[in-house]
Protein backbone atom coordinates (compact mmCIF):
# COMPACT_ATOMS: atom_id res chain seq x y z
CA UNK A 1 0.00 0.00 0.00
CA UNK A 2 1.30 3.45 -0.90
CA UNK A 3 1.43 6.22 1.71
CA UNK A 4 -0.78 9.19 0.97
CA UNK A 5 -1.97 12.45 2.49
CA UNK A 6 -5.41 13.81 1.69
CA UNK A 7 -6.66 17.13 3.06
CA UNK A 8 -10.43 17.45 3.19
CA UNK A 9 -13.05 20.12 3.63
CA UNK A 10 -16.57 18.75 3.65
CA UNK A 11 -20.10 20.08 3.40
CA UNK A 12 -19.44 23.75 2.67
CA UNK A 13 -22.67 25.49 1.74
CA UNK A 14 -21.99 28.04 -0.97
CA UNK A 15 -24.40 30.13 -3.06
CA UNK A 16 -23.35 29.97 -6.72
CA UNK A 17 -24.90 31.23 -9.96
CA UNK A 18 -25.47 27.95 -11.76
CA UNK A 19 -28.05 26.05 -13.76
CA UNK A 20 -29.58 25.83 -17.21
CA UNK A 21 -33.30 26.14 -16.49
CA UNK A 22 -34.95 29.56 -16.40
CA UNK A 23 -35.81 29.25 -12.70
CA UNK A 24 -32.12 28.62 -11.95
CA UNK A 25 -30.43 31.30 -14.02
CA UNK A 26 -31.29 34.54 -12.24
CA UNK A 27 -30.41 33.85 -8.60
CA UNK A 28 -27.55 32.03 -6.91
CA UNK A 29 -28.48 28.60 -5.63
CA UNK A 30 -27.08 26.77 -2.63
CA UNK A 31 -24.57 24.01 -3.31
CA UNK A 32 -22.99 21.66 -0.79
CA UNK A 33 -19.33 21.31 -1.76
CA UNK A 34 -16.77 18.83 -0.42
CA UNK A 35 -13.12 18.84 -1.50
CA UNK A 36 -10.37 16.26 -1.08
CA UNK A 37 -6.84 17.18 -2.19
CA UNK A 38 -4.13 14.54 -2.35
CA UNK A 39 -0.69 15.98 -1.64
CA UNK A 40 2.93 14.95 -2.00
CA UNK A 41 3.91 13.66 1.41
CA UNK A 42 6.98 14.14 3.56
CA UNK A 43 9.12 11.26 4.81
CA UNK A 44 7.90 12.01 8.36
CA UNK A 45 5.76 14.58 10.13
CA UNK A 46 7.32 15.52 13.45
CA UNK A 47 5.78 17.72 16.15
CA UNK A 48 7.66 20.76 14.82
CA UNK A 49 7.06 20.15 11.09
CA UNK A 50 6.19 23.55 9.51
CA UNK A 51 2.94 24.22 7.66
CA UNK A 52 4.74 24.55 4.31
CA UNK A 53 5.35 20.78 4.51
CA UNK A 54 1.62 20.33 3.99
CA UNK A 55 -1.17 22.70 2.94
CA UNK A 56 -3.48 25.02 4.80
CA UNK A 57 -7.03 23.63 5.00
CA UNK A 58 -8.35 27.15 4.46
CA UNK A 59 -6.92 27.10 0.91
CA UNK A 60 -9.45 24.38 0.09
CA UNK A 61 -12.29 26.36 1.63
CA UNK A 62 -11.23 29.55 -0.17
CA UNK A 63 -11.12 27.71 -3.54
CA UNK A 64 -14.82 26.91 -3.12
CA UNK A 65 -15.84 30.30 -1.75
CA UNK A 66 -13.84 33.47 -2.34
CA UNK A 67 -11.96 32.09 -5.39
CA UNK A 68 -15.20 31.53 -7.33
CA UNK A 69 -15.64 34.59 -9.53
CA UNK A 70 -18.50 36.81 -8.39
CA UNK A 71 -21.20 37.40 -10.97
CA UNK A 72 -20.13 34.52 -13.26
CA UNK A 73 -22.91 32.09 -14.19
CA UNK A 74 -21.74 28.48 -14.43
CA UNK A 75 -24.19 26.55 -16.61
CA UNK A 76 -22.99 23.23 -15.20
CA UNK A 77 -21.89 22.37 -11.69
CA UNK A 78 -19.13 20.39 -13.40
CA UNK A 79 -17.66 23.78 -14.37
CA UNK A 80 -17.80 24.91 -10.74
CA UNK A 81 -15.89 21.77 -9.71
CA UNK A 82 -13.36 22.28 -12.51
CA UNK A 83 -12.74 25.87 -11.39
CA UNK A 84 -12.10 24.74 -7.81
CA UNK A 85 -9.69 22.04 -8.99
CA UNK A 86 -7.74 24.39 -11.25
CA UNK A 87 -7.52 26.97 -8.46
CA UNK A 88 -5.90 24.40 -6.17
CA UNK A 89 -3.50 23.17 -8.87
CA UNK A 90 -2.40 26.75 -9.59
CA UNK A 91 -1.91 27.54 -5.89
CA UNK A 92 0.38 24.69 -5.01
CA UNK A 93 2.55 22.25 -6.98
CA UNK A 94 2.35 19.71 -4.14
CA UNK A 95 -1.34 19.10 -4.96
CA UNK A 96 -1.38 15.88 -6.99
CA UNK A 97 -5.08 15.11 -7.29
CA UNK A 98 -8.31 16.87 -6.35
CA UNK A 99 -11.81 15.46 -5.96
CA UNK A 100 -14.78 17.81 -5.69
CA UNK A 101 -18.26 16.64 -4.79
CA UNK A 102 -21.15 19.03 -5.37
CA UNK A 103 -24.75 18.50 -4.27
CA UNK A 104 -27.52 20.76 -5.59
CA UNK A 105 -29.59 21.42 -2.49
CA UNK A 106 -32.67 22.98 -4.15
CA UNK A 107 -33.57 19.93 -6.22
CA UNK A 108 -33.76 17.55 -3.27
CA UNK A 109 -37.33 16.53 -2.49
CA UNK A 110 -36.83 14.04 0.34
CA UNK A 111 -33.30 14.71 1.56
CA UNK A 112 -31.53 12.88 -1.25
CA UNK A 113 -28.11 14.16 -2.38
CA UNK A 114 -28.22 14.88 -6.12
CA UNK A 115 -25.05 16.11 -7.77
CA UNK A 116 -21.65 15.21 -9.19
CA UNK A 117 -18.17 14.16 -8.18
CA UNK A 118 -15.26 15.28 -10.38
CA UNK A 119 -11.70 14.05 -9.84
CA UNK A 120 -8.61 15.25 -11.70
CA UNK A 121 -4.95 14.42 -11.38
CA UNK A 122 -2.25 16.98 -12.11
CA UNK A 123 -1.03 16.63 -15.69
Query: What was the pLDDT predicted at 111?
Result: 84
The list of the chain residues with pLDDT below 70 reads 22, 24
Angle between helices 57-64 and 77-91 (to 10 degrees): 140
Task: Give Cβ neighbours of residue 8 (< 8 Å, ≥ 6 apart).
Answer: 34, 35, 36, 37, 60
Q: Would you state the pLDDT for residue 86?
A: 98
Nearest one of 33, 47, 43 to 5, comparing CA atoms: 43
Containing domain of residue 54, as a range? 5-121
Domain of residue 38, CATH code: 3.30.1130.10
pLDDT tens-place string over residues 43-70:
888 898 888 878 889 999 999 999 999 8
Q: Total structural domains in the chain?
A: 1
How far is residue 46's CA from residue 50's CA, in Å, rounded to a whole number?
9
Q: Give the span between the Cα atoms of 112 and 104, in whole angstroms.
A: 10
Amino acid sequence: MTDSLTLEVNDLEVDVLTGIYSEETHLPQPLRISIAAELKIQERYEADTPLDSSKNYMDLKDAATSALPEGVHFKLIEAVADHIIETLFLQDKSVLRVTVKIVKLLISEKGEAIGITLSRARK
